[in-house]
Amino acid sequence: MEAEYYTFGPYKIHEKEVFYTSQLSYALVNLRPLLPGHVLVCPRREVKRFVDLTVEETSDLWLTAQKVGARLEAHYNASSLTFAVQDGPQAGQTVPHMHVHILPRKGGDFEKNDEIYDAIDMKEKELKNKLDLDKDRKDRSLEEMAQEADELRKLFL
């Protein structure tokens, strides 16, 4: 049996990395998470910018983000969520496929709350340039990501 892949801009995402799917969207674990539970929600169709989504895709994407976020917040015993979209290169988007970052948040996870946006921006640039500017955050293996996705998939059974 051949594995299924999802597209994420120029990248192929193995089905083992995807933990939730809807009709028009999918949620995947992050190659370089900033915090435990940092995931991405993407439209199934490769769409570069938010404005390029259809009404149906927009609705499905945000309903998926809402559902995923609620389950992640409970699972990680978080008290809040950050939803972030970098829409276009000047906004920090480096993968040309619209996506929503979801990060379960806890008090004190960043010294200054809004530093999360700088961290997301740096992570995106590192991924694009394949540079390891942040020595503490290494790419995770497919096995590590598959294990997390298996754990998260159980939240939706």
Res. 133 pLDDT band, cuts 50 70 90: very low
pLDDT at position 2 is: 66
Distance of alpha carbon 97 from alpha carbon 72, whole angstroms:
23
Given a contact cutoff of 8 angstroms between Cβ atoms, the answer to whether 52 and 62 are in contact is no
Given a contact cutoff of 8 angstroms between Cβ atoms, the answer to whether 69 and 102 are in contact is yes
Evaluate if residue 42 carries a pLDDT over 80.
Answer: yes
Mean pLDDT, residues 55-79:
98
Distance of alpha carbon 112 from alpha carbon 72, whole angstroms:
22
Evaluate if residue 114 carries a pLDDT over 80.
Answer: no
pLDDT digits (tens, 9 = 90+) for 8-17: 999 999 999 9
Res. 119 pLDDT band, cuts 50 70 90: confident
List the Cα angle 103/145/30 in 5-degree steps. 30
Indicate the range of 10-24, 77-91, 131-145 predicted with least confidence: 131-145
Instruction: Mark whether 75 is an active-site residue.
Output: no
Mean pLDDT, residues 50-75:
98
Entry pTM: 0.85
Mean pLDDT, residues 96-118:
87
Mean pLDDT, residues 34-63:
97
**DSSP codes of every residue in 78-89:** -SEEEEE---SG
Nearest partner of 29 among 114, 155, 147, 154, judged by Cα: 147
Catalytic residue among 14, 38, 75, 99: 99
CATH superfamily of 5-152: HIT-like (3.30.428.10)
pLDDT digits (tens, 9 = 90+) for 84-104: 999 999 999 989 999 999 999
